[in-house]
Amino acid sequence: MDLLNTLVDKGLRRELPTREEALAVLATSDDELLDVVAAAGRVRRQWFGRRVKLNYLVNLKSGLCPEDCSYCSQRLGSKADILKYTWLKPDQASEAAAAGVAGGAKRVCLVASGRGPTDRDVDRVSKTIEAIKEQNEDVEVCACLGLLSEGQADRLRDAGADAYNHNLNTSESTYGEITTTHTYQDRVDTVQQAQAAGLSACSGLIAGMGESDEDLVDVVFSLRELDPDSVPVNFLIPFEGTPLAKEWNLTPQRALRILAMVRFVCPDVEVRLAGGREVHLRSLQPLALHLANSIFLGDYLTSEGQAGKADLDMIADAGFEVEGADKVTLPEHRRAESGAGAGCGSHESAGGGCGSHADSSGGGCGPCGSGPVEEPAAADEARTDLVAVRRRGAGTDLAPNA
């Protein structure tokens, strides 16, 4: 297939494909799916081998967000029956992080709902970062706290943060249809503030919110221009009680095509398989490891994920290996260019959601766009069999899933 040969050649040279080529990936048929995965897998292995980086989410503050992001279970007006609690204390957050590190995670992502942190919040998170680093000196810490004010990124960096996550989520042209309480440019500005402070930038997308193929390509090309170290790909988790609860558009095949397109556009970047993978990829999750080189271990922010041991078994059974703390995630040329190590990803509230919008976003768009029309993954009704609200880990007395 000439298209795939061209995209592989470009990916191995770190050359940006054209928009038409990216759209063509999304338009491939199910008969061509394994060829698409194999081609994108060659690019993934060129820059990341067979390593899979594990990341672990700690939801520092859950629910009660003043922003109106339609995908989010923590949004203003959400009727989703999620855990709601205020800030974890530093020792509580450190204890939660330790569970993920014990399970093999080399990065801990600290997420808090809200528009953005106050200076007092930054102080609180700084103490949490210090507590985590004191217990696990080599662990990477990514903060995901929403829109940043001047100087806050520098303070997080000084406290020991390695990265900052803030997702673009969707294309600029359709952003206002998803969120009205802040703008697309607000998100771009926050990512650039993090980069200017020397933090490794993590910024990604949510697929499955009713966007077209063109929207998906637009946001991925915008991310390529923004040049984060990590790009989390979330698939909408249609939570009951949110405006997008009926958006069940994705199929596993569609989700894989989206991941392949992201890999071709961002060949040497950490592509993270984030929120919604269990819901939409289901039994095809192992194929996604040929496209993404990073995943979240265990649960997400407000939804439960696959059992941590099942994640580890999946990685081993698929012929991949967990990336150790002694390995640097990004290729040497990117480390030299950015001076950073790797990125974290997840979206979730006003500005938050580390690499895993996890629970409020998630899914790829099926029939909308230039690709082939597919049957929706589920009927136009709640899928409680696929979406489970998190009832363990941070904010509870139950052991975490790690």
Question: To the nearest whole number, what is the mean pLDDT of the chain?
Answer: 87
- Which tens digit of pLDDT belongs to each residue from 246-277? 889 899 999 999 999 999 999 999 999 999 99
Element (H, E) at 48: helix 33-48
Residue 342 has pLDDT above 50, yes or no: no
Q: Could you tell me which residue, 168 or 387, shows the higher pLDDT? A: 168
Once rounded to an integer, what is the mean pLDDT over residues 168-185?
94
Angle between helices 152-159 and 119-135 (to 10 degrees): 20
Whole-model pTM: value is 0.87
Rounded to 5 degrees, φ, ψ at 115 are: -65, -40
| Catalytically active residues, by annotation | 65, 69, 72, 109, 142, 202, 272
Q: Could you tell me which residue, 359 or 321, shows the higher pLDDT? A: 321
Q: Establish whether 368 is an annotated binding residue.
A: no
Lowest mean pLDDT among 37-51, 124-138, 293-307: 293-307
Q: Establish whether 365 is an annotated binding residue.
A: no
- Which tens digit of pLDDT belongs to each residue from 113-141? 889 999 999 999 999 999 999 998 899 99
Once rounded to an integer, what is the mean pLDDT over residues 272-286?
95
Q: Establish whether 109 is an annotated binding residue.
A: yes
pLDDT at 378: 44
Q: Establish whether 202 is an annotated binding residue.
A: yes
Residue 356 has pLDDT above 60, yes or no: no
Quick check: 243 and 24 in contact, CB under 8 A?
no
Q: Establish whether 277 is an annotated binding residue.
A: no
- DSSP calls for 273-314: E-TTHHHHTGGGHHHHTTT-SEEE-S--SSB--S-HHHHHHH
Q: Three-state SS for 249? A: coil
Q: Could you tell me which residue, 183 or 348, shows the higher pLDDT? A: 183
Domains, the chain, with CATH or none: 2-338 (3.20.20.70)
Percent of the chain whose pLDDT exceeds 70: 87
Residue 380 has pLDDT above 70, yes or no: no
Once rounded to an integer, what is the mean pLDDT over residues 94-121?
94
Q: Could you tell me which residue, 380 or 17, shows the higher pLDDT? A: 17
Round to whole Å and give the CA distance between 316 and 99.
Answer: 20
